[in-house]
Amino acid sequence: MPKTGSETLKPKNWIQREYEDPDYEKKILDIQRQIEELRELHVKIQDRTVLLRTLTIIFGAGLGFSLACVILYGFKLGGFDLEVSTINILVAATLGEVAGLLGIVYGALFKK
């Protein structure tokens, strides 16, 4: 079948196409909302990172100190001597610290 006529369509500028889109404003608002949510999430992650680093340093130092005291007391190195009740309290506090950390990690990994 032979063509009898041809019609050419003039391409529209992309700015004009976006302007003519009836959902353009809604799309812009959705993108702005997503950007704001990502910013809030980024701030939360930064806060948690700072808290995690601080707690890791503090708990690590406390754990190292407790372990050093127990080793020094157990082997009587350098004339280190404490009362038995003091060592028992120190070990109990260290075990409580480790149990708390394990509970926090378990709760964070297996959150419902």
Q: Could you read off the pLDDT of 25-68 as tens digits, one per residue?
A: 888 899 999 999 999 999 999 998 898 888 889 888 989 999 99
pTM: 0.61
SS3 of the chain: the string is: CCCCCCCCCCCCCHHHHHHHCCCHHHHHHHHHHHHHHHHHHHHHHHHHHHHHHHHHHHHHHHHHHHHHHHHHHHHCHHHCCCCHHHHHHHHHHHHHHHHHHHHHHHHHHCCC
Q: Which residue has the higher pLDDT, 35 or 101?
A: 35
What pLDDT, on a 0 to 100 scale, did the predictor assign at position 59?
Answer: 86
Q: CB of 54 within 8 A of CB of 61?
A: no
Average pLDDT over residues 91-100: 90
Q: Is a pLDDT exceeding 90 seen at residue 89?
A: yes
In percent, the amount of the chain with pLDDT more than 90 equals: 41
The residue assigned the tokens 């812009």 is 28
What pLDDT, on a 0 to 100 scale, did the predictor assign at position 31?
Answer: 94
**Domains in the chain: boundaries:** 24-109
What pLDDT, on a 0 to 100 scale, did the predictor assign at position 97?
Answer: 86
Q: Which residue has the higher pLDDT, 37 or 24?
A: 37
What pLDDT, on a 0 to 100 scale, did the predictor assign at position 68?
Answer: 93
